[in-house]
Chain A
Amino acid sequence: MCSVGDDLFDDNGLMSTIEVSRSKTCNKCKTAETHLVLRNKDAYCKSCFLENVTHKFKSTLGKSRLIRPGNRVLFLYEDNEASTALLHMVRDGLNLNTPKKLNFCPVIVFIEDLYHLTIEERHNVIEQANKVIGEFHFDLFLVSLAQYAGNTGSIDKLICQASEVLPISENDEHELFRNVQPNTSVTNKKELISILKRNLLIEVAKHLDCKFIFTNEISQDIAINLLTNVSLACGNRIPIEAGFCDDIDSQVKILRPLYLFDSKEIEFYTKYNNINYTHSRNEETNPYSSIQTLLEKFVVDLQANFPATINTILKIGDKLDIVKGDISCQLCKIPICEQSSQLTSEESTRFSSLVSTSKIDLADPDLSNKFAPINGKAYCFSCDELSKCLLKR
């Protein structure tokens, strides 16, 4: 038996916990007083930390070698700290006079979908978004998700620049789920919203002549999303949604410049840069109400005791490769797995569903056709399941 690594454990069979660096000086500059601990062990001073964050952001963008000077980039602004921190990093980068200056042209979009808030609170969020983005001197465009869901026609009529023009009504949530069966689970509703938002973002980017979209997911969001995709049988989305770049659309690439940041780094960055940001009221949700919230609880709780959790999940995502196929799913636009000589996981799932729900004859020569995927279908496996809750496919 292999005994490599056995010496990592103490005599009592438990892994020893990592001790926070007891040194009073910063891990990097070795002179200044420490201000925060990252990865539960490395202590940094304020200036080294901020320098490190800026460097990490720029190197993530630089290494990808995708953005050319003058490119228009669409930023998704959301009601959270990561969004505001991202805009701050970009503004800092654009204001530089050194060769490290960022050279693209940001355009900001805010998708209004805060249906758990009152009308007044929703207006306040938009007002705040306007104020924050105004302080950074960027242009803000507003779109209502409910309007998009209700009328998938011309995108130019939905995009507006003045907050007074954006239609906000109490009926928006009803409008959004007009084509969805009333008894649809929260999990499926969240899934539909995320697919809808992605499609809307791509349409807005095309309309505003942007080749790139920057979203603000941090490492924790990506880890939660990866496990959600596994749980909802959307394995084909993992390689696209777990990395830095989503290039499924031929014209617009979705990039995640914060995918290596954790929530602590973002919070300390906003705190140390005095970014005034007021968070709107969170939706009061039971963690057991949907798969997404349950996995958030799982990842956050596990991360508290095992600081490598999120990193490990992300590294697994990095190793997965995209499914090859010519046909794309009509809902999520991800390529559908092609027929292959080997048994696919979709066929295995259908097979176990078949054997556990009906009596089958193993000698039946037609058996393999019963669980084979249907040729020429419009949806991938998970969207096929999801589309069952749509009234009008």
Chain B
Amino acid sequence: MCYVSLRNVNIKNISNFAFQTGYFLISMADLKIALEFGGGAEVLVGNQKVHEVAFPSKNKVWTIGDLLYWIKDNILKERPELFLQDGSVRPGILVLVNDADWELMDTVNYELKSNDRIVFISTLHGG
């Protein structure tokens, strides 16, 4: 299991955001989610099927769209074009949020909750 935590958030932007919106920082637990890759997609992330990750949730709402870019920048080892395409996953990769289809949850706009399990399954044979 690998445990990754996102620490490279720009503190200045967060304070500005908090000031403008009147949303002030309250100490909260990190947003912990489990990522699972299958059907051949695990090859793109270093052949590791399950990744446990945590994001600082106190300053920002994380959507799957944000998560995809985070995956691209942090755990995708090779050929990002085989995973991401036009701001979403490549056609042929299925996404499940807690065992349910992400199409029911507005796909990239779904807001992640703590202990969510996001599964990416590739249905493509070649490439």
A residues contacting B by CB (< 8 A) are 20, 34-37, 40, 43, 80-81, 263-264, 266-268, 271-272, 279, 281-287, 292-293, 296-297, 300-301, 303-304
Write the chain A residue with the least CB distance to B86: A304
Are A279 and B40 CB-contacts (below 8 A) given A263-B92, A300-B124?
yes
A-B residue pairs in contact (CB < 8 Å), sample of 17: A20-B103, A34-B100, A36-B100, A264-B94, A264-B123, A279-B38, A279-B39, A281-B43, A284-B127, A285-B126, A287-B126, A287-B127, A296-B126, A297-B127, A300-B91, A303-B91, A304-B91
On chain B, the residues within 8 Å of A272 by CB distance are 99
Tell me whether B125 is interfacial, beta carbon within 8 Å: yes
Question: What 1/0 mask marks residues of chain B from 86 to 110 whose CB sits below 8 Å from any chain A CB?
Answer: 0000011010100111011000000
Write the chain B residue with the least CB distance to A296: B126
Asked if A301 and B91 sit within 8 Å, CB to CB, the answer is yes
Asked if B125 and A296 sit within 8 Å, CB to CB, the answer is yes
Per the bound structure, the CA–CA distance linking A279 and B94 in Å amounts to: 15
- Give the bracket for the number of chain B residues in contact with chain A: 20 to 34
Write the chain B residue with the least CB distance to A302: B91
On chain B, the residues within 8 Å of A283 by CB distance are 126
Write the chain B residue with the least CB distance to A294: B126
Question: Within the complex, which residue of B103, B104, B127 is in contact with A285, where a contact is CB–CB below 8 Å?
Answer: B127
On chain A, the residues within 8 Å of B84 by CB distance are none
Tell me whether B121 is interfacial, beta carbon within 8 Å: yes
Least distance between B126 CB and chain A CB atoms (Å): 5
Least distance between A8 CB and chain B CB atoms (Å): 23
Least distance between B92 CB and chain A CB atoms (Å): 5
Write the chain A residue with the least CB distance to B91: A304
Asked if A43 and B127 sit within 8 Å, CB to CB, the answer is no
Write the chain B residue with the least CB distance to A37: B103
Per the bound structure, the CA–CA distance linking A267 and B119 in Å amounts to: 11
On chain A, the residues within 8 Å of B124 by CB distance are 282, 296, 300
Per the bound structure, the CA–CA distance linking A264 and B126 in Å amounts to: 17
Per the bound structure, the CA–CA distance linking A284 and B40 in Å amounts to: 11
Are A267 and B43 CB-contacts (below 8 A) given A35-B100, A36-B101?
no
Asked if B99 and A35 sit within 8 Å, CB to CB, the answer is yes
Asked if B91 and A293 sit within 8 Å, CB to CB, the answer is no
Least distance between A347 CB and chain B CB atoms (Å): 35
On chain A, the residues within 8 Å of B99 by CB distance are 35, 271-272
On chain A, the residues within 8 Å of B101 by CB distance are 35-37, 268
Asked if B91 and A282 sit within 8 Å, CB to CB, the answer is no
- Across the A-B interface, the 4 shortest Cβ-Cβ residue pairs: A304-B91, A263-B123, A36-B101, A37-B103
Asked if A271 and B104 sit within 8 Å, CB to CB, the answer is no
Per the bound structure, the CA–CA distance linking A292 and B92 in Å amounts to: 16
Asked if B91 and A43 sit within 8 Å, CB to CB, the answer is no
Write the chain A residue with the least CB distance to B94: A267
Asked if B100 and A267 sit within 8 Å, CB to CB, the answer is no
